[in-house]
Structure 1
Amino acid sequence: MIVNKEDLYSLVFSIFQKITFDEYAKILAEELVNANLAGHEDHGVQLVPYYVKLAKGEKVNLGGTIIPPINPKARIDIQRNDFLIKIDGKMTFGQVILRKASEEKVENFKIFLGRNVSHIGRLSSFTENFAKKGFITLLVARTPPLISLEGMKGRILGNNPISISFPGDPPITIDMALSKTSFGKVVSSLYRGEKIEEGMILNAEGKGTSKPEDLINGGSLLPIGGYKGFNLALAIEILTSLFSEDVDINPFFGIVIREDLIGNEKKIEKIKERIPTTPFYHFPGSRKVEKENIDLPDSLWDQLIKINDSIS
């Protein structure tokens, strides 16, 4: 069904307003609806039912990861010095933590460290917010283990995402996780009774498989670029672990630097002009359009209404 973005925002805000601060509810509604508008449905309003359960003290399985309960009314602690901004999210909503981080004042350069962070969703929300202010921004986050290399038993490293944004209209943003395929796509194949393309997943013994059920039963995703992607995940694991706690779901590490300190936008435009658009490739950010409506499954809309009606 087609839903107006304002109607969807109002419904999501109403749900979270009943379980957290109005300020947090506003941020959550904006971030989740904006994810749908940007075409990132997996980070959009389909997460609302899971987040409500987390706020009620339940654990949920999200993308193959068990997410512990969150504190919906925790106040975020932020410590600042000349070079660092350290953020302790107190295990509240990840989107709220990241929004608060993106609202921090940066004059020239800052490193961001985040710990006690629950499920974040889109890293590009943070990087694009700073890019719109004229900053080149990099953000990486750790996830619970989900990827491995052939011969390694079990899940070794997180499918650790990375987002980089450059100033522009719109900002140039590269935002990706490090696996060849996603956990959700494998689950979809399982439901359809289909096999997975070879070279995408491993079973629990570290052997290649095309059976989607092998991933569910303790298997792992293979990283992009083989050992190169694995080592990139390792680097992110180290960067995000130095300041974080073992219970963290998405601790993060970010760098924000004012663009005119190292160059100017004209150089970026020259590079952009060199990159051709093909049926298989569109320049990052070039396909984003302003939309007023969102196509939602009827069942999801009905579920959101039921959740809203059930919370007193």
Structure 2
Amino acid sequence: MEAIKRIHHISAIVGDPKENVAFYEGILQLRLIKQTVNFDDPNTYHLYFGNEQAEVGTTMTFFNWKNEHQGRVGSGQVGRIAFRIPKGSMGYWNERLTSFDIDFKISRLFLAPTMEFEDTHGLAIALVESTIESETPAILGFHGTALLTSQPKQTVETLRDDLGLVVEKEDDVATHLLTVGEEKHHIIVPKERLPRGRFGVGTVHHIAWSIPNEVEHREWQDFLYNEGYNVTEIKDRQYFKAVYFAEKGHIVFELATDGPGFTINESFEELGTNLMLPPQFEYMRKNLEESLPPIR
């Protein structure tokens, strides 16, 4: 059982699906790779976006709630989500965000040139310039995220001692950790203890860590249980298997297998073009197709 190598996906709660698609596909130029529904509430969408290759470790997913169900950002949540952009592409993204009247600020939040802004529904987003060269300025995938915790020390211990991330830097403001895989996803744990958050539009529900196969997935489930975490049973999410647990600062962590992947029911070329329902909801297809709002 190896240390966690990368983020698998991050799942956030946002509002109107048409506005959601317009922002992530239309402005950030991510690829919509799966239209499906929430396993716990099939009357709402679950939309998946990724890079052009739909690679594991680039997937941002959204639960689309009604816009009036606003959340409150606080401890027990994932905070700002950072996407990685190629070396030399800050100018392109500066011009692009400006052309869409998106306010942003330049910082070094992720210890590199960072653009901080919000999406249509108030979700905190960042673009971080990397040292990776590319022929296009397109988003490469995740760079990392911040974890808002009521127990910063204990959260760092979970990441470092149990999941195997490596501490890159620590100062009076935050601890910075990296996953050990090629992507070296950057996780910030601020030391400020915010009031407890409330899930709703504009908040992140969970972060999922990538597990390469089902054998290791079961080993991780056993290991975390033996370490005292309240781990769920293995859940079949159609495109991956998942277990969930809340770490000691109340942030929801998921462990998700890399397979079977998004092409089990759509070809690579067709990804994201059709409403793909889990088998248990196929009997509802006609009603769902009539009741779910258009996404474009």
Q: Could you say which TM-score interval applies, normalised by the shorter chain?
A: 0.3 to 0.5
Please say which structure displays the higher CA radius of gyration. Answer: 1
Instruction: Return the TM-score normalized by structure 1.
Output: 0.31
Structure with greater strand share of residues: 2
Identify the structure with bigger relative contact order (alpha carbons < 8 Å, sequence gap 6+): 2
